[in-house]
């Protein structure tokens, strides 16, 4: 097939890279990406200038970036280390007898646990199946 197209003055072969893309297309894509990045850098610099002029006009302090670093994106409490988890599992971690619940709440839960068993026993006494 190459002989036939070559005989009729076929297209010139262009260079391709290992991915099968034309080298000129890859270069044009890289150049366009670099132009886009430079455009965004300039736009961000202009925005920062505008932000700074507003801060100066209204005497607003710029937010400190270390505030964001302190929280490190965590919401809630600090995760426990494996040592802390092991100590808690052994019952050493809590100060109230190894229970994770406060004393008043543990009393309520024990009473609630007794409730269904008392109801079941009273029903069994009153109703007997033959």
Contacts of 109 (CB under 8 A, 6+ apart): 101
Average pLDDT over residues 57-74: 70
Check residue 77 and report its DSSP letter: S
pLDDT at 59: 92
A 10 A CB-CB count for 93 gives: 14
pLDDT at 38 over 70: yes
A 10 A CB-CB count for 99 gives: 13
**Overall size of the chain counted in residues:** 130
pLDDT at 5 over 70: no
Check residue 13 and report its DSSP letter: P
Which segments of 1-130 does DSSP mark as H helices, in order?
2-7, 23-58, 66-71, 82-90, 103-126
For the segment 77-117, what is each residue's pLDDT rounded down to a tens digit? 777 788 888 888 777 544 445 556 677 777 787 777 777 77
């Amino acid at each position: 097939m190459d002989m036939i197209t070559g005989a009729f003055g076929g297209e010139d072969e262009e260079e391709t890279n290992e991915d099968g893309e034309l080298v000129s297309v890859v270069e044009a894509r890289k150049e366009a990406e670099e132009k886009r990045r430079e455009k965004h850098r300039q736009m961000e610099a202009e925005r920062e200038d505008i932000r700074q002029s507003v801060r100066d006009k209204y005497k607003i302090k710029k937010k400190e970036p270390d505030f964001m670093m302190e929280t490190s994106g965590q919401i809630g409490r600090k995760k426990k280390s494996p040592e802390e988890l092991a100590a808690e599992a052994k019952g050493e971690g809590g100060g109230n007898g190894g229970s994770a619940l406060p004393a008043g709440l543990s009393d309520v839960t024990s009473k609630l646990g007794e409730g269904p068993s008392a109801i079941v026993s009273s029903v069994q006494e009153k109703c007997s199946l033959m």
